[in-house]
Amino acid sequence: MPDHPADTGETREIRLNPIVPAESVLVATARSMRPKKAEDLAPRDTRKHVETCPFCRGNEHKTPPAILTWPETGEWQIRMVENLYPVLGDDRVQSNFSFGLQQTIDGYGRHEVIIDHHEHGTAIHEMTESHLAALFVVYQNRMRQLFESDERLQYVLVFKNFGPAAGASIPHTHSQVIAMPVVPENVEAEVRNSAAHYAKHHHCIFCALIDEALTFEATIYDRGSGAVRRKINVGQYVIERGEHFIAIKPFASRYEWEVHILPLVHQADFLNAPADTFDDLARVLRRTMARLDAVIGGAQYNFFLHAVPHDKDQLAHDASYHWHLEICPRTSIPTGFELGSGLFVNTISPEQAAERLRAVEL
Ligand SMILES: [Zn+2]
Ligand SMILES: [Zn+2]
Ligand SMILES: [Zn+2]
**Of the bound ligands, which one is closest to the alpha carbon of residue 321?**
2
Q: For strand 155-162 and strand 97-99, is the pairing parallel, antiparallel, or unpaired? A: unpaired
Residue 37: is its pLDDT beyond 90? no
**Of the bound ligands, which one is closest to the alpha carbon of residue 263?**
2
The residue-averaged pLDDT of 303-331 equals: 95
**Of the bound ligands, which one is closest to the alpha carbon of residue 210?**
2
Confidence of residue 40 (pLDDT cuts 50, 70, 90): low
Can you give the pLDDT at residue 19?
A: 87
CATH number of 60-84+105-180: 3.30.428.10
Q: How far is the CA of 315 from the centre of ligand 2 (A)?
A: 14
Q: How far is the CA of 284 from the centre of ligand 3 (A)?
A: 18
- 337, 35 in Cβ contact below 8 A? yes
Residue 199: is its pLDDT beyond 80? yes
Q: How far is the CA of 304 from the centre of ligand 3 (A)?
A: 8
> How remote is the C-alpha of 101 from its chain's centroid?
32
Taking the C-alpha atoms of residue 323 and residue 326, their distance in angstroms, rounded to an integer, is 10
Q: How far is the CA of 102 from the centre of ligand 3 (A)?
A: 28
Q: How far is the CA of 282 from the centre of ligand 1 (A)?
A: 22
pTM over 0.85: yes
Architecture in CATH for domain 11-28+185-359: 2-Layer Sandwich (3.30)
Farthest-apart Cα atoms in the chain, separation: 72
Residue 235: count of CB within 10 angstroms of its CB: 15
**Of the bound ligands, which one is closest to the alpha carbon of residue 266?**
2
Q: How far is the CA of 103 from the centre of ligand 1 (A)?
A: 40
Can you give the pLDDT at residue 23?
A: 78
Can you give the pLDDT at residue 93?
A: 47
Reported as a single tens digit per residue, the pLDDT across 239-296 is 999 999 999 999 889 899 999 999 999 999 999 999 999 999 999 999 999 999 999 9
Q: How far is the CA of 306 from the centre of ligand 3 (A)?
A: 5
What is each CA distance from 356 to 41, 47, 69, 125, 252, in whole angstroms? 21, 29, 38, 18, 17
Residue 218: is its pLDDT beyond 80? no
Nearest to 266 by CA among 329, 317, 196: 317
The residue-averaged pLDDT of 144-164 equals: 92
Q: What SS3 string covers the chain?
A: CCCCHHHHCCCEEEEECCCCCCCEEEEECCHHHCCCCECCCCCCCCCCCCCCCCCCCCCHHHCCCEEEEECCCCCCCEEEEECCCCCCECCCCCCCEEECCEEECCCECEEEEEECCCCCCCCHHHCCHHHHHHHHHHHHHHHHHHHHHCCCCCEEEEEEEECHHHCCCCCCCEEEEEEECCCCHHHHHHHHHHHHHHHHHCCCHHHHHHHHHHHCCEEEECCCCCCEEEEECCCCCEEEECCCEEEECCCCCCCCCCEEEEECCCCCCHHHCCHHHHHHHHHHHHHHHHHHHHHHCCCCEEEEEECCCCCCCCHHHCCCCCCEEEEEECCECCCHHHHHHCCEEECCCHHHHHHHHHHCCC
* Cα-Cα-Cα-Cα dihedral sign, residues 306, 304, 234, 190: positive
**Of the bound ligands, which one is closest to the alpha carbon of residue 187?**
3
Reported as a single tens digit per residue, the pLDDT across 84-133 is 777 676 655 455 555 565 656 566 788 899 999 999 999 999 999 999 99
Q: How far is the CA of 136 from the centre of ligand 1 (A)?
A: 21
Residue 222: is its pLDDT beyond 80? no
Taking the C-alpha atoms of residue 278 and residue 325, their distance in angstroms, rounded to an integer, is 13
Q: How far is the CA of 290 from the centre of ligand 2 (A)?
A: 26
Can you give the pLDDT at residue 102?
A: 62
Q: How far is the CA of 256 from the centre of ligand 3 (A)?
A: 16
AA letter at 139 = Y
Q: What is the mean pLDDT of the chain?
A: 86
Q: How far is the CA of 255 from the centre of ligand 3 (A)?
A: 14
Residues 6+ apart with CB under 8 A from 31: none
Q: How far is the CA of 267 from the centre of ligand 2 (A)?
A: 6
CB-proximal residues (5 Å) to ion ligand 3: 306
Can you give the pLDDT at residue 41?
A: 65
Candidate ranges 91-105, 159-173, 196-210; pick with highest mean pLDDT: 196-210
> Can you give the residue ranges of every domain in the chain?
11-28+185-359, 60-84+105-180
- Give backbone dihedrals phi and psi of 306, rounded to 5 degrees, phi first: -110, 120
Can you give the pLDDT at residue 2?
A: 38
Q: How far is the CA of 113 from the centre of ligand 1 (A)?
A: 13
